[in-house]
Structure 1
Amino acid sequence: MDVRRRPPKPPRILGGSNHHDNQPEKRSPSPSPQASDALPLPLYLTNAIFFTLFFSVAYYLLHRWRDKIRNSTPLHVVTLSEIAAIVSLIASFIYLLGFFGIDFVQSFISRASNDAWDLDEETEAIISCPPAPSPTTIAKLVKPEPIITTLSSLEDEEIVKAVVGGTIPSYSLESKIGDCKRAAEIRREALQRTTGRSLQGLPLDGFDYESILGQCCEMPVGYVQIPVGIAGPLLLDGFEHPVPMATTEGCLVASTNRGCKAIYASGGATSVLLRDGMTRAPVVRFGSAKRAAELKFFLEDPNNFETLAIVFNRSSRFARLQHIQCSIAGKNLYVRFSCSTGDAMGMNMVSKGVQNVLEFLHNDFPDMEVIGLSGKSFVIYFLS
């Protein structure tokens, strides 16, 4: 038996100075074996024969089984020709199944043949590659941004350590220290030490942190500067109003200014307030449409509005119930509460007021099921 072995490669010298050692060795590519090489006939001819055989024997068997059914002949009684047709059908099906996956088989054949020959080259490539740098080396190469400390006393340093260690909550610094700006400095320093990132580009001085305490922004560490442009004047209701605009969008102030000029040249604008209020529409469900209608009549009764308004207004000093509108959809009742919220947007105070009313209604309507605190009801207004 003729056993062919690949001749061994000469050892490579990794530390030598000869430039030829660093060149990859070139080999003449050997043709990969094809699955079609095992077929006695060309591939296209073999495929045509098996396709024809498959469909012809399938038609023959179906024709024979139809005649047996018409003549009441048992199907399990087969002749020699039918046995040969069944064998041919199975053989052609197996071939066609392998034909559709012939590329998949060839990929496995070529991969198995190349793995053994490329093993030496992969080993040499792994040995010759330099080791990956350690995280310590990367940290030395990448110079972190310096963290600038703004603390002014040792007492602040102790508070920062307590915040970082979790002894003092970050949100309680204003109440413990009594100085909002100092609390922002300490919180800012604790954040820098926790994350390892500098907040040097975020301004800290020049802002009144007392004005936002309990109002709009919690746990501040600085503020963001936004350019403010001026447009106008806008002639509105007989008065000229300059329009300040804080934005980073280009041409926005310029286009607004052109609109103000057009309004001014046309004689000014007049404003009319149609309605001022915030709405919330919960959805409730009953066992019958009759019960939903009873709640609708109860809510829209003017005699009950004062009681419902007292219950609703307990949620806030500013929320005031204006009116209630109901819509029935089957067993579901959509209730839209409208109220004034003062200078605030007021969605939270409206939600609390609606929750109070629903709890109050549950005493008289215990079978009421609250589906959602905010539902979708559609009101169409026609303007003429």
Structure 2
Amino acid sequence: MISRGYRGTDAKPSLLGFGCMRLPRLQEDKQDIDYDMGQKLIDYAYANGVNYFDTAYMYHDGLSEAFIGHALSKYPRESYFLADKMPLWQVTQESQVEEIFQNQFKRCGVDYFDFYLCHGLDRNIVEKFKKFHVIEYLKQKKAEGKIRRLGFSFHDSPEVLAEILKLNDWDFAQIQLNYIDWQAQDAKGQYDLLAKNGIPVVVMEPVRGGALAKLCPQAADVLKAADPQASLASWAVRFAASQPGVMTVLSGMSSDEQVVDNVSTFVNFQPLSQEELKTLQSAGDIYKKYLTIPCTGCRYCMDCPSGVDIPAVFKIYNEFSVSGREGEFLKAYQALEEKQQASSCVACGRCAQHCPQHISIPEKMKEIREKVEKILSE
């Protein structure tokens, strides 16, 4: 497994990282983790050189940290890098910062974090970051050896990123980077700014929540014609890993197939050639013609007070946007409980406040509801 190292030190985090936000589940409609299958995936990744594992306080409704702590407990602590995050949007008073941090140690069963992040910094969260003196607290924990490297994850513009870089001498940063968001969310501008400042980059959402592994047929055909043996996902992760300033590309893996494919891609990693980049751009241009909602299924919007299953509704609608099959769309949509459907949305806007993709969720729910009503009336 290739490693680009970390700032000239002996630390060798793997170029492929295991993201623990989309672990295998016991039931499709619940976040409970399938420990047996999850352990199998972690073991395979570890055996093939993956040593960077990324979790967070709220992943799988708070169950991810305990799982990855359990899964990695069989291995020497110094043989892997564990990353966790401070969920600032859940903090309402300063004392909670200490409570959450200590709880993360208990959940993970470790006494230090190799990489620790201020989770989801943007123009709004950064004010809470300052108000509750989070950076001072975390820098103290770093001085105590509880945190080895301190960074942040980010969802906003390069202009806001420039301001955040002034707040601390950051050890690394995590951004959403893929071949669609390179332009769509100016990931290029964010990456260039971090590279200019010599800050190692960890990539999240390289496959855009799995969407780039399920392209519309026209876009998929372009990539398959160029390389019939390569998976659609491998094109996406190779794009992210081809940026030289990237230290680690996180992939949320939930199946044998995904782990084997990713490991194969990174063990034999080759950056995209100029010809391959042109091919990928062509496929991306085709994909963008389809009006999909840029939801990655992160679930930061959940739980909805009205019971709407926002990620599920968006997933079903996006699949319809690509396929155009109304019958399949209605069947999947109506399989949701009535309260989980778009028609239950009361447009309170609470969800949109937490969406890292800045989706106008109530507006999209209205569009989907109207689309369903239109199909049913025809």
TM-score (norm 2): 0.20
* Higher-Rg member (1/2): 1
Higher relative contact order (CA 8 A, sep 6+): 2
